[in-house]
Structure 1
Amino acid sequence: METTGHHTLNDLFAQLGLASEDAEIHEFLITHYLHRHEKLSAASFWTEGQRQFLESAIEEDSDWCVAVDELDSLLRH
């Protein structure tokens, strides 16, 4: 796992093994969403590895937290 400074949403998508270009992120965001009280890492569209990464990023208050929080917010449309 990469651990350097500030990470962008594009960096997070790449880290999760997802397409990370702006247009591809936009497509992901319009085709996926979180229910009102659903935890980000509990969403059904993550693989087990992605789920673990998202959980640990928040639990460990890692340098990925800002990007993970941004993704969480964007998925609540």
Structure 2
Amino acid sequence: MMNTSQPSMTHLFEQLGLDADESAIQSFIKAHQLGADVYICDAPFWNTSQRALLAEKTITDDDWTIVVDQLNEALHEDSV
């Protein structure tokens, strides 16, 4: 069955197998800040399937790409 839910940060975290409530998402982002030179898919805290999911979502050029871009920006907030 195809997932027809609207892409969102909550749905992305669910697909990544992570706690997806708002406070958990904010805590994850705060605890996993990346350096400016680290691409989101290369972050050391993803497992193989999470990395593959993010890579897939970044190349689909649809609404999921926007959500992954938002996560990428959030994970790089401290690198600016």
After TM superposition, the score normalised by the length of structure 2 is 0.85
Asked if the contact 1:29/1:74 (under 8 Å) is kept, the reply is yes
Distance 1:5 1:65, change over 3 A: farther
C-alpha distance in 2 between matches for 1:3 and 1:61 = 17
Runs of 5+ consecutive residues of structure 2 not aligned to the other structure:
none
Deviation at 1:37, TM superposition (A): 1.7
**Correspondence for 2:46:** 46
**Correspondence for 1:60:** 60
**Correspondence for 2:29:** 29
Runs of 5+ consecutive residues of structure 1 not aligned to the other structure:
none
Task: Indicate the SS of the match to 2:63.
Answer: coil
Asked if the contact 1:4/1:63 (under 8 Å) is kept, the reply is no
Runs of 4+ in 1 over 2 A off after TM superposition: 2-6
Q: Which has the higher helix share?
A: 2
Deviation at 1:67, TM superposition (A): 0.9
Percentage of matched positions with identical amino acids: 32
- Computed over aligned residues only, the root mean square deviation of the Cα atoms, in angstroms, reads 1.8
The aligned length equals: 77
